[in-house]
Amino acid sequence: MNKIMHGVVLAVFALACWLVTMILRMSMMVAAGTNHQLPAFSRFCLGVGPMIAVGLTALAAIYCLVVWLRKWEKCPSWVAFLATSMSTVVLLMLPMIIAIQLPIIDFINRLPHN
C-alpha cells in the first residue's frame, strides 16, 4: 500500500508540474499578442520554470523508483513524500504566479479605453 501511494503522489506531483508549465505557456501566448517586451522577471521564469518543473519531476520519479525497487525493512512513509512534493509545488508556483500576472496586467493596462 505504501508503494502504491508513492506512485499516486508522484502522479499528482507530475500533473501539478505540468499545469505550472501550461500556465507559463499561457502567459507567453498573452505576451506574444503584443509588441511589447516582457518584464525581466517574467522572461527569467518563462525560461527557467519548465526546466525546473521537469527536473523536480525527474527527481521525484527517481526517488519513487528507489522506493519501489529497494527492499526496505521499513519503507519510508508516503506522507513525508506527499508533504515534500506538495510544498515544492507551492514554492515553485509562488514566483510563477507573479511572472504570469505581470504580462497579463501589462496587457490589460495597454487596452484602449472606451
pLDDT in tens, 48-96: 888 988 999 999 999 888 888 887 777 778 888 889 888 988 888 888 8
Q: What is the pLDDT of residue 98?
A: 84
Residue 33 has pLDDT above 80, yes or no: no
Long-range contacts of 43-49 (CB under 8 A, 24+ apart): 44/99, 45/95, 45/96, 45/98, 45/99, 46/99, 49/20, 49/21, 49/24, 49/92, 49/96, 49/99
CB 4 within 8 A of CB 33: no
Q: How far is CA 39 from CA 78, 79, 106, in A?
A: 39, 38, 9
As given in the structure block, the three cell numbers for residue 98 are: 507573479
Q: What is the pTM of this model?
A: 0.77
Least confident residue range of 28-32, 37-41, 51-55: 28-32
